[in-house]
């Protein structure tokens, strides 16, 4: 059986990967997340995901390593994780009533052979118009902390979202359908349970 390692400390990604019925270890990547100054955001986010996968592959030395990086993009500006509640409120004020994109770079690498697959998944998200009291109340829950765009669609943040166009799981942080396609290239099929 092929060993699988998730190169992320994110509890959300861990939970999502468990949904596919895979057994895996978790080894957090040490790669510093930075996308600033890039003209090719999709290319940069794929490169970052691959760097995370390679960092962990170099340490585990065997099996497949899965890595991802997710950002929120609005009018050309990247919304990462807010540094404090004030920044979270500001992000939500800007996104309120608007459409933004959630973009995830996804990488799978075989630690022994170096074979890799790298993809980028985009989802358009429409946030409903929020009142100041709703923004204050949501930020007070602490949920926006450590979340790109200052919200968690899988939590209370679901109440902020009017509609999405694309993969829901991408917005959570791990596009499962695309990941399943990529794992097929490594002879792992999560539906037929064929794991060689």
Number of domain units in the chain: 1
Active site residue 133: no
Average pLDDT of every residue of the chain: 93
pLDDT tens per residue across span 157-194 = 999 999 999 999 999 999 999 999 999 999 999 888 65
DSSP state of 132: H
Domain range holding 114? 4-195
Rounded percentage of the chain residues whose pLDDT exceeds 90: 80
| Domain containing residue 186: CATH number | 3.90.950.10
* Residue of 25, 58, 69, 84 marked active site: 69
pLDDT tens per residue across span 103-114 = 999 999 999 999
Q: First-to-last CA distance in the chain? A: 6
Q: Is the pLDDT of residue 33 over 80?
A: no
What is residue 41's predicted lDDT score, i.e. its pLDDT?
87
Please tell me the pTM assigned to this model.
0.90
């Amino acid at each position: 059986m092929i060993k699988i390692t998730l190169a992320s400390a994110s509890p959300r990604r861990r939970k999502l990967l468990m949904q596919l019925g895979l057994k895996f270890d978790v080894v957090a990547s040490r790669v510093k997340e930075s996308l600033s100054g890039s003209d090719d955001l999709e290319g940069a986010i794929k490169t970052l995901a691959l760097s995370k996968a390679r960092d962990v592959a170099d340490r585990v030395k065997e099996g497949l390593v899965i890595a991802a990086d997710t950002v929120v993009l609005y009018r050309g500006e990247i919304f990462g994780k807010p540094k404090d509640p004030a920044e979270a409120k500001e992000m939500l004020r800007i996104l309120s009533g608007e459409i933004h994109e959630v973009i995830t770079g996804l990488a799978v690498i075989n630690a022994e052979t170096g074979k890799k697959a790298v993809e980028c998944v985009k989802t358009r998200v429409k946030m409903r118009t929020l009142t100041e009291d709703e923004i204050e109340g949501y930020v007070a829950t602490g949920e926006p902390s450590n979340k790109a765009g200052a919200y968690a669609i899988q939590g209370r943040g679901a109440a902020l979202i009017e509609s999405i166009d694309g993969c829901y799981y991408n917005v959570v942080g791990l596009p499962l359908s695309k990941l399943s396609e990529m794992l097929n290239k490594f002879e792992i099929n999560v539906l037929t349970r064929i794991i060689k």
